[in-house]
Amino acid sequence: MGLRFDTMKVHAGYNSAEHNNSAVVPIYQTVSYDFNNTDHASRLFSFAEAGWLYTRVTNPTVHTLELRAAALDGASAAIALASGMAAISYSLLNIAQGGKVISSPYLYGGSADSFRRMYAPLGIEIIQTPDILYPKDLEKHISKDVKAIFVETLSNPNGLVADLEALSELAHKHGIALIADNTFATPYLLNPFKHGADIVVYSATKAFNGHGNVIAGLILESGKFPYDNGNYPQFTQPEYVLRDPANPSHERSFYEVFGPEAFTSRTRLAYLNYFGAALGPFDAYLALVGIETLSERISKQTSNALKIVRYLEESPHVSWVNHPNASGNAQRDLVEKYLPKGGGGILAFGFNGSIEQSEKFINSVELFSYHVNVGDARSLISNTAKTTHSELTQELQEEAGITAQTIRLSIGIEDADDLIEDLEKAFEKAYE
Ligand X SMILES: *Cc1c(COP(=O)(O)O)cnc(C)c1O
> Alpha-carbon distance 295 to 249, whole Å?
50
Q: Candidates 61, 128, 183, 410: give the one binding ligand X (CB under 6 A).
A: 183
Q: Candidates 84, 210, 350, 412: give the one binding ligand X (CB under 6 A).
A: 84
Cβ 217 to ligand X shortest distance, Å: 5
State the number of CA atoms in the 13 A half-sphere of 80 facing the CB: 31
Cβ 296 to ligand X shortest distance, Å: 21
Closer to ligand X by CB, 257 or 407: give it. Answer: 407
Is residue 159 a contact point for ligand X (CB under 6 A)? Answer: no
Q: For residue 164, what are the contacts with CB-CB under 8 A and spacing of at least 6?
A: 151, 153, 178, 180, 192, 195, 196, 197, 338
Q: Candidates 66, 73, 163, 181: give the one binding ligand X (CB under 6 A).
A: 181
> Alpha-carbon distance 370 to 384, whole Å?
11
Q: Candidates 99, 110, 159, 412: give the one binding ligand X (CB under 6 A).
A: 110
Handedness of CA 54, 179, 177, 231 (dihedral sign): negative
Is residue 83 a contact point for ligand X (CB under 6 A)? Answer: yes
Q: Candidates 25, 102, 151, 215: give the one binding ligand X (CB under 6 A).
A: 215
Q: Candidates 47, 90, 108, 235: give the one binding ligand X (CB under 6 A).
A: 108
Q: Candidates 66, 73, 152, 422: give the one binding ligand X (CB under 6 A).
A: 152
Closer to ligand X by CB, 108 or 225: give it. Answer: 108
Closer to ligand X by CB, 114 or 325: give it. Answer: 114
C-alpha to C-alpha distances, 423 to 275, 303, 405, 426, nearest whole angstrom? 44, 17, 16, 5
Closer to ligand X by CB, 56 or 371: give it. Answer: 371
Residues 334-363 that bind ligand X (CB under 6 A): none
Stretch that binds ligand X, among 16-24, 67-75, 177-185, 250-258 (CB under 6 A): 177-185
Closer to ligand X by CB, 73 or 152: give it. Answer: 152
Residue 363 CB coordination number (10 Å)? 11
Q: Mark 91-123 as b/e (b = at least 16 C-beta within 10 Å).
A: bbbbbbeebbbbbbbbbbbbbbbbbeeebeeee
Is residue 71 a contact point for ligand X (CB under 6 A)? Answer: no
State the number of CA atoms in the 13 A half-sphere of 271 facing the CB: 25
Cβ 226 to ligand X shortest distance, Å: 27
> Alpha-carbon distance 432 to 430, whole Å?
6
Stretch that binds ligand X, among 83-91, 160-168, 261-269, 299-307 (CB under 6 A): 83-91
Residues 12-51 that bind ligand X (CB under 6 A): none
> Alpha-carbon distance 362 to 355, whole Å?
11
Query: Could you tell me which residues are beta bridge partners of residue 251?
Result: 243
Stretch that binds ligand X, among 134-142, 198-206, 269-277, 287-295 (CB under 6 A): 198-206
The residue with its CB nearest to ligand X is 84
Cβ 209 to ligand X shortest distance, Å: 10
Is residue 193 a contact point for ligand X (CB under 6 A)? Answer: no
Is residue 208 a contact point for ligand X (CB under 6 A)? Answer: no
Closer to ligand X by CB, 46 or 267: give it. Answer: 267
Query: How many binding residues for ligand X (CB under 6 A)?
Result: 18
In contact, 94 and 270? CB cutoff 8 Å: yes
State the number of CA atoms in the 13 A half-sphere of 108 facing the CB: 24
Stretch that binds ligand X, among 24-32, 108-116, 188-196, 355-363 (CB under 6 A): 108-116
Q: For residue 218, what are the contacts with CB-CB under 8 A and spacing of at least 6?
A: 65, 66, 69, 78, 79, 80, 81, 87, 200, 201, 202, 204, 208
Burial class (CB in 10 A: 0-12, 13-18, 19+), 56: middle
Q: CA torsion 329→334→340→346, rounded to 10°?
A: -50
Q: Candidates 105, 217, 281, 343: give the one binding ligand X (CB under 6 A).
A: 217
> Alpha-carbon distance 325 to 309, whole Å?
8
Q: Which of 248, 187, 259 is nearest to 220 (CA)?
A: 187
Stretch that binds ligand X, among 82-90, 131-139, 240-248, 296-304 (CB under 6 A): 82-90
Work out the angle at residue 398's Cα, subtended by the Cα atoms of residues 187 and 96, and round it to the nearest 5 degrees.
55
In contact, 281 and 29? CB cutoff 8 Å: yes
Binding site for ligand X (CB under 6 A): 83-85, 88, 108, 110-111, 152, 156, 181, 183-184, 203, 205-206, 215, 217, 374
